[in-house]
């Protein structure tokens, strides 16, 4: 039963809207964002009245959560009179309006745009080379922070007073946006440039799990001694990097974080925009910490299909044990997927977010990996060298190869997880899940 909402209630709540900020939606039209938590709640309430599916989503996701970018009154005044560079992509939006448009329409002097893996529009393949370019709408230079140019150079930051970082992460160690964040921190510190992080919720921020990275395995998919699922927002993570001295030279960095509102680590947040081409659904976002380990094996995670990171399989798995099939095809976001055009036998891990959440049960699910390995016709060729980089340790592969039980594997993570939790706790900006 939905509580009735009167017109008087609407008028009263909308009247409490704070200062307006203009947001440019295209070259000829300007809209005004009225920054009211109450107003946003009403919009969602009206939507829920119309859609049973959204009613279900309401029970899972907290719609009162807002990223820092949705509060221009907290950051626009700090940027007036400064020359600004942005670290953004397709997720850097408030509704349908980009952070870039918000900045420009409020008189902020944006000089440059930096973009992470997957590019400015978020449609490039994982690992694909991204060229520097010019933004067609504004003429601003767009500089890729991927490939051979992962870290801004002195010439990139020449004349810049402050860098604003606003990327939607998924809270998993091998998702490379936090590696980009570290390099941006290093570059800002080395060039006396301020860094402002507009924080966003962590959709996997409600648990911590996985092996803590052994620093001897460091790579761009794992740079610091944190577990696979580390339970922190970008702002919290940056504070930890600085506070723990894990990144040389950033102790003097002028770092500020504007927090989200309505968020804590016990809540679930639905991403409004896919953060990368193959994380298209919340089911995929929740399965990603478990399934991405397959990217260091001969098993496909469904790239080149309609359900990437919601299924796994390969042509060599036993179709009696793995009756589910899919056939990867080259396409946008998966130009040359593993087993392109070949039938793969495997398993769907979940068709929707609630199903995946039940299966992972606030942890990394090792069942799918162990099942695939134990039924592989060529177990000696199951793992690739990339597996050690993804897992962040040489131990997990050996444990699986020697038949170590899942309970014993998990027990081997506990000491590292407990030590990390003590460190993490010092830098939390939001109430924790435990």
What pLDDT does 58 receive? 52
Residue 186, phi then psi, degrees to nearest 5: -60, -45
> pLDDT digit string (tens) for 280-293?
999 999 999 999 99
In the chain, the largest separation of any two C-alpha atoms, in whole Å, equals: 69
Of 275, 272, 282, nearest to 90 (Cα)? Answer: 275
pLDDT band at 356 (very low <50, low <70, confident <90, very high): very high
What the block records as the tokens of 419 is: 């030590």
Contacts of 427 (CB under 8 A, 6+ apart): 232, 236, 237, 239, 240, 243
What the block records as the tokens of 163 is: 């860098």
Residue 49: pLDDT over 70: no
Domains and their CATH numbers in the chain: 7-60 (no CATH), 68-271 (3.40.50.12170), 282-403 (3.90.1150)
Residue 393: pLDDT over 90: yes
Residue 361 CA to residue 354 CA, distance in Å, equals 10
pLDDT band at 119 (very low <50, low <70, confident <90, very high): low
C-alpha distances (whole Å) from 166 to each of 90, 219, 326 are: 10, 23, 36
Residue 308 CA to residue 304 CA, distance in Å, equals 7
Check: CB of residue 209 under 8 Å from CB of residue 250.
Answer: no
What the block records as the tokens of 424 is: 């993490």
Q: 3-class SS at 99?
A: helix
Check: CB of residue 376 under 8 Å from CB of residue 317.
Answer: yes
> pLDDT digit string (tens) for 135-146?
888 899 999 998
Residue 180 CA to residue 245 CA, distance in Å, equals 17
Check: CB of residue 25 under 8 Å from CB of residue 97.
Answer: yes
What pLDDT does 30 receive? 47
Q: Cβ–Cβ contacts within 10 Å for residue 375, how many?
A: 15
């Amino acid at each position: 039963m939905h509580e009735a909402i009167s017109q008087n209630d609407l008028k009263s709540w909308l009247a409490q809207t704070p200062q307006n900020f203009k947001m440019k939606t295209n070259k000829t039209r300007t809209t005004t964002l009225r920054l009211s938590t109450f107003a946003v709640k009403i919009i969602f309430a009206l939507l829920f009245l119309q859609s049973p599916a959204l009613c279900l989503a309401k029970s899972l996701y907290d719609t009162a959560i807002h990223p820092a970018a949705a509060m221009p009154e907290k950051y626009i005044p700090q940027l007036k009179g400064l020359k600004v560079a942005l670290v953004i992509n397709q997720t850097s939006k408030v509704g349908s309006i980009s952070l870039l448009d918000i900045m420009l329409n409020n008189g902020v002097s944006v000089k440059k745009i930096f973009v992470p893996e997957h590019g400015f529009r978020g449609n490039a393949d994982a690992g694909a080379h991204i060229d520097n370019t010019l933004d067609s709408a504004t003429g601003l230079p767009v500089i890729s922070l991927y490939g051979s140019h992962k870290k801004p150079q002195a010439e990139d930051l020449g004349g810049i007073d402050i860098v604003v970082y606003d990327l939607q992460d998924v809270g998993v160690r091998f998702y490379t946006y936090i590696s980009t964040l570290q390099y941006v921190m290093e570059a800002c510190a080395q060039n006396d440039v301020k860094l402002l992080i507009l924080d966003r919720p962590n959709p996997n921020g409600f648990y911590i799990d996985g092996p803590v990275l052994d620093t001897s395995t460091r790579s761009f998919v794992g740079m610091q001694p944190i577990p696979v699922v580390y339970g922190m927002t970008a702002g919290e993570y940056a504070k930890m990097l600085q506070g723990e001295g894990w990144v040389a030279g950033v102790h003097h960095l002028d770092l500020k974080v504007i927090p989200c509102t309505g968020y804590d680590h016990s809540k679930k947040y639905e991403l409004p925009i896919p953060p990368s081409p193959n994380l298209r659904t919340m089911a995929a976002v929740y399965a990603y910490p478990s399934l991405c380990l397959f990217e260091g094996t001969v098993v496909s995670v469904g790239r080149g299909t309609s359900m990437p990171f919601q299924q796994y399989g390969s042509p060599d798995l036993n179709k009696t044990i793995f009756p589910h099939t899919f056939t990867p095809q080259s396409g946008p976001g998966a130009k040359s997927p593993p087993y392109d055009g070949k039938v793969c036998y495997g398993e769907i891990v979940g068709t929707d977010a609630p199903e995946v959440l039940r299966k992972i049960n606030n942890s990394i699910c090792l069942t799918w990996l162990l099942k695939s390995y134990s039924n592989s016709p060529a177990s000696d060729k199951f793992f690739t060298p990339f597996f050690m980089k993804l897992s962040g340790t040489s131990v997990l592969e050996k444990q699986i190869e020697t038949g170590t039980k899942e309970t014993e594997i998990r027990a081997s993570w506990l000491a590292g997880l407990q030590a990390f939790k003590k460190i993490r706790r010092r830098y939390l900006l939001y109430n924790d899940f435990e």
